[in-house]
Chains A and B, each alone.
Chain A
Amino acid sequence: MSDSLKENFKDIILDSITDGVFCVNKEWKITFFNKAAERITSVSREDAIGRNCWEIFHASICEKDCALKRTIQTNQPVINKAIYIIDATGRRIPVSISTAVLRDDHGEVIGGIETFRDLSAEEELRKELAAKYSFADIIGRSPEMQRLFAILPRVADSDSTVLITGPSGTGKELVARAIHNLSARKDKPFIAVNCAALPDTLLESELFGYKAGAFTDARTDKPGRFALAEGGTIFLDEIGDISPAMQSKLLRVLQDKVYEPLGATESVRADVRILAATNKDIEKLVEKGIFREDLYYRINIVKLDLPPLHQRKEDIPLLIEHFVDKFNRLANKNIAGVSQEAMAILMDYDYPGNIRELENIIEHAFVLCSGSLIMPEHLPSHLRGIRGAARSIGEGGPMTLKALEAMHIADALRRHKGNRTAAAKELGINPSTLYRKMKSLHIDVPKRGRRSDKSTK
């Protein structure tokens, strides 16, 4: 076999593997770059060959602890070292690298070879399991998000109580987790409590714990969420829904940093940072006397207001790209993105369920899409119906009575977040008539906000 044929075989073999591979000569110039390396780094082979490796690979260890350099100097290979690289689009990609020395026929060192495996999918799964979201998971370039980015580091640095407000599905818990993970308390627990999900009596024992004998069946001491969050952060979601009695107990924790577990005779000191969130207009609740004014001022030291998605539509393409990346990794698919037509539909929609709804729409499209691009037919039908009807009106073209009816029904459902009874009432028809019409007009119910879903951005 001739040398050129051997070389050709070697290239085909290296291009067919899923790990990235590159070789450097003794001057640290890239001499080989396989297909997987192009995919992972987003740099083409033509651009990479002949460049210094650090200008292409952008690894966290390039500057201080280059593995390839160490291997060439010590002749010791590095195996499966976990680092991260920054690709050409600014994404931080976790990779595992291995290195080896390259020698010529006479045993002279002529350079090195590095292989790297993309660990993004594993990282994504780990993140899903541990709900360990960071600042990097907050997506957006809109002015509203820029303002948030500007103050978030300082908010995280301080130990102040933070009130996060915004409609359902805007990512309040995500921001709370990001604040915790950026703060000095990041190695301590982050405990999230949905205050609205528990009745008052249960909420008290959940938050503060109880002592054995405090009530029937309380056989042993049970630590509360405050005790579990000791040294870390507690996130009180839906704080606008707690009762006046509970409000006064919380006020005490905020004021004096102490609380009493149920049945305890002594107070317990709490070293916990409190982050609170609500989708209600808490100032109105204060005005109406439903929410204690003194508690409001205690939790409202720093207020972060998350805008609804329709107020930052410029972020939609970025969010779509993020969710496409995410579901590609989770579903092991290779969808490149959304088509222009589908993007136009997605930009037109006003997302009453906010980012959570957008995520659900992309997930829906992933189930139906078997090609490489998400097309309009992969989107939920209530989106397509609205776009079609709106376009007909906008263009002044003919519009059937059926299309108009579909548009009105879809609109009403959207306004009521998929609540068919409420939508039927607004439309002045019986709910069963609405069901029948939805079926005949092929209208899907918009998905409702899922409070348990933690992956909203």
Chain B
Amino acid sequence: MKIAIPVWNERVSPVFDVAEKILIADVESGIEKARSEYQLKSTNTAARATEIANLGIDVLICGAISRPLEAMITASGVGVIARVCGNVDEILRAYIAGRLLTSQRYLMPGCWRRGYQWRGRRRFGMLHKRNIRRT
């Protein structure tokens, strides 16, 4: 499966809507097989959603993302795990190990007022959640 993380100074880009570069990791059976970087060309919401879908990404792990862009990306079948912050390598390792969604330390702080739903498609036996409600 292909996992994409927008990168800025080795960290997750703060705002995916304007991120310039993504890291794409190919992961099979919990092992990272390949890694590449990709320069995003799109500058508007629709083009960005199409660009991510065309890259064959399965899961996008990102920082802040606007609702329309997130809606478009999830609608195209890509799972989105938003509001993540920290070092990209650490985030990727945590995701592969299944720790990303269960640990508070990778989440951007915020006011989790709304009930978040499971998002994205069921693929490779995994479910992706947009966010975790802070308790």
Contact = CB atoms under 8 A, between A and B. Distances in A.
Interface in A17-45: 42-44
Interface string A436-457: 0000000000000000000000
A146 interface: yes
A89 B70 contact: no
Contacts of B55: none
B102 interface: no
Q: How large is the interface on B (under 10, 10 to 19, 20 to 34, 35 or more residues)?
A: 35 or more
Contacts of B114: 89
Contacts of A156: 46
Contacts of B8: 63
A88 B68 CA distance: 14
Contacts of B31: none
Interface of A: 42-44, 47-48, 51-52, 54-60, 62-64, 86-92, 134-136, 138, 141, 145-150, 152-154, 156-157, 182
Contacts of A48: 109
A182 B50 contact: no
B14 A64 contact: no
Interface in B37-93: 44-47, 49-50, 63-68, 70-72, 74-77, 82-83, 85
Contact of A152 (B19, B72, B77): B72
Given A55-B109, A152-B72, A90 B15 contact: no
Contacts of B17: 60, 86, 92
A90 B82 contact: yes
27 contacts: A51-B109, A55-B63, A55-B85, A55-B108, A57-B14, A58-B14, A58-B63, A58-B64, A60-B17, A62-B14, A63-B8, A63-B13, A63-B14, A86-B65, A89-B111, A89-B114, A91-B67, A135-B46, A135-B72, A136-B67, A136-B68, A146-B71, A147-B75, A150-B77, A157-B46, A157-B50, A182-B46
Determine chain B's interface SS by DSSP, over half rule: loop
Contacts of B82: 90
Given A43-B109, A63-B8, A88-B108, A55 B46 contact: no
A90 B47 contact: no
B50 A47 contact: no
Given A63-B8, A63-B13, A92-B66, A153 B110 contact: no
A152 B46 contact: yes
A54 B108 CA distance: 10
Contacts of A150: 72, 75-77
B109 A90 contact: no
